[in-house]
Amino acid sequence: MQRFLRAGGYYRHDIDGLLGPLSRAALELFEADGANVRSELGAFDKRTESTLATMLVPTQRAARKFMAATGGAGLTSGLSARLISGTRTFAEQDRLYAQGRTEPGNVVTNARGGQSNHNYGIAWDVSIFTTAGKYIDALAETGQMQSKDVAAEYVKLGPVGRAMGLFWGGDWAKPDRPHFQMLDNDQLPTVRDKFLNGGTIV
């Protein structure tokens, strides 16, 4: 939390892991800036809002603009986008990496803790839902929707992000279509260094 607040420019003191008055003051400033961006750009569904709250403020700003623009992306009628995943701690990333390897489930990431843009408050994953609140990827698993049709919906969102100067996981050699990030992958070593040693990331 302190590293995250420092990477956002809100905390300039020691990383001691204690939520003291300086950390709390930094957290309040961070939350106030996030609330200002929400008032300026508009609010979204509960899941999207809780996801936005985990991102650095410039990322929140970009993600709100992205969400607003998904309305014009040409998704099939009755479908809409929500943000479902924002920032993950290194420990959360390591647990996700274990899924499908040493733990049950499908492999969902190739990044260990510290190797993902999600670990630095500068990335999000979008999901597409039906008006009934069903996740279309789950409809593909039960055969109610074809996988290629699910992929085609996500492909409509890529250009929305690209047009805003975001980096889209769908452009990668191993496509990750729900994924968007503020910086290109080659920036990751710099981002990690700033996060660990102090410095504003975005």
Residue 33 binds Zn ion (CB under 5 A): no
> Which residue has tokens 């992929």?
151
Comparison of 15 and 98: residue with beta carbon closer to Zn ion: 98
Which secondary structure element, helix H or strand E, spans residue 91, and what is its range?
helix 90-98
Residue 125 binds Zn ion (CB under 5 A): yes
Q: How far is the CB of 157 from Zn ion (least distance, A)?
A: 13
**DSSP 8-state code for residue 21:** H
Candidate ranges 39-47, 124-132, 135-143, 146-154; the one touching Zn ion (CB under 5 A)? 124-132
- Which residues lie across from 85 on neighbouring strands? 125
Which secondary structure element, helix H or strand E, spans residue 40, and what is its range?
helix 21-41
Q: Specify whether the CB–CB gap between 98 and 131 falls below 8 A.
A: no
Q: How many CB atoms lie within 10 A of CB 172?
A: 12
Residues numbered 179 to 198 that lie near Zn ion (CB under 5 A) are 179
Q: How far is the CB of 92 from Zn ion (least distance, A)?
A: 12
CA–CA dist 25, 60 (Å, integer): 20
Comparison of 179 and 194: residue with beta carbon closer to Zn ion: 179
Question: Closest residue to Zn ion, Cβ-based?
Answer: 179
Residues numbered 38 to 77 that lie near Zn ion (CB under 5 A) are none
Binding site for Zn ion (CB under 5 A): 125, 179
